[in-house]
Every structure is written in C-alpha cells, then in structure tokens.
Amino acid sequence: MTKIDLTQHPPFIYPDYRSSRTRGPKKPLLKLCDIIEGEPHIQLGEFQGSLSNKFHIPEGSNNLLINGSQSGAPLGERIVVSGQVLNQWGKPQSGILVEIWQANASGRYMHKTDKQDAPLDHNFSGVGRCVTDSDGRYRFYTIKPGAYPWKNHFNAWRPSHIHFSIIGESLADRLVTQMYFCGDPLIEHDPIFCATPAANRHRLISSFDLGITEADFALGYNFDIVLPGTKDMPNPKESEHPNEGS
C-alpha cells in the first residue's frame, strides 16, 4: 500500500478558511487497521473488491449539457473538461470513477441550501460522472461555472471552480479536490486555494487546450489528476522498482 504524503495536501485546519476551524480534526488520525476488530492485519487495498472498478454509469452521465435538461439546453458558456488520472509514478489509471459537481453559469448550485440571489437553471443539474478509459482519460461536457459570494470573510468570492471526487483502486486512493480556471483573478484571493502548499497549487489550475476544444461548439480545458498526490512523479521507465514508501 502506498503512503500518502500529507505535506503535499492542504492542512486539515486552515484558519483563513473559516469552516475548517470546526470541521478539521484536532486529534491524530487513526490507522484503519487499528480500529477494525479481529482484523489487525487488514490493509486498505483489501477493500478494493467492495469498491470495484465495475461501476454502472448510465449513458450520458458525463454530459451535463443534457443530463439535467427539463425543457432545453442550459445557459452559459459550453466547455469540455478532460484529462488523465495518473498514479504517483505517472502511470495512467483505467476504470477509475470520476465525479464532478459545480454551480451553474450564474454561480448557483442546484441545492436546497444555496439560497443566494442568483437564478437557478432548471436545465442544469451541475452533477456528472464517468469512468476513465484504458488510457486513464475522462471527459465531461458542461457549462463554465460562475463565481459566487460566500460568507467566509468580508467581500469574499469563490472563483469559478469544479469539484472533483475520484475513487481509485482502494480507499487509500480516494481524492476530493477542485479545479480552477487559468487566468481567473479571484484565485489568489481564495482561502481554499491558498490553503494548498504553494509548490502544488498549479495542480489545481486547468489549462486551456485547443486539442480538447471542439470547433464551433465548446472551449476545452485539460486537468490531470494524480493519485495519491505525492510530491515526486519519476518516470516509470527510469526505475523498474520504485520505492513505494517515498
């Protein structure tokens, strides 16, 4: 089982991100093998069978332009978001479940707790999912989300972003993250983005990609995802026996 280098991730409690003060754990984390009675030898990877790569995803689940439509197309700028899911050594990961959720073009979520003064789009659910192909690639069709105000601090605005949840080969490879858009002036003012160690913040920003862009239809953005997100990704060809504990 590979070790996750937590120094490459945001801290559990980041004071400028106010809700983390109450949500973040204040006690040391427990090893799963220490809390499963009768199975002290169990490893996280042994749960792989319960996760399984045989996800049942209905056709069109990755197309947010149509999967929430009630009476027509959603409003906003159409985009394509695509990339690869890789392990820590840069090897593509196939059969990985990738889920996204986001606000609509006005910056509002289709959720009962979002009561901000922005219009809902009843043709846009803001939720999609897909499974990576043999090359570890995923692809979503969606609307570029709008920025929105939040109550973290005075005049606080969240940049345009898309939430990602990735379920890898085991529980140890579960990752929840966010994708930002290149050139957004709000990024540098976002406490959630700034909570990430500076050396890794670039991993949260997608890049415009003309190769993903579909002519006369939608701009394309590339966003690669690394599991479990360790610091270094040596080329697998450079070493036939990588050190999994590094």
Catalytic annotation, pick one of 18, 78, 122, 163: 163
161 is catalytic: yes
Contact indicator for 238, 225 with CB cutoff of 8 Å: no
Separation of alpha carbons 164 and 11, rounded Å? 18
Residue 236 is predicted with a pLDDT of 42
Residue 243 is predicted with a pLDDT of 40
Catalytic annotation, pick one of 17, 108, 109, 180: 109
| H-helix segments, 39-141 | 48-51
Residue 21 is predicted with a pLDDT of 79
221 is catalytic: no
Residue 35 is predicted with a pLDDT of 54
Domain 6-235's class?
A: mainly beta
Is this prediction's pTM over 0.75? yes
- What residue ranges of the chain have pLDDT lower than 70? 1-6, 14, 31-54, 169-173, 229-246
- Residue 147: which of 158, 135, 162, 139 has the closest Cα? 158
Per the document, the length of the chain is: 246
Residue 162 is predicted with a pLDDT of 98
148 is catalytic: yes
Residue 149 in tokens:
């105000």
Separation of alpha carbons 209 and 221, rounded Å? 5
23 is catalytic: no
- Asked if the peptide bond before residue 197 counts as cis, ω within 30 degrees of 0, the response is no
109 is catalytic: yes
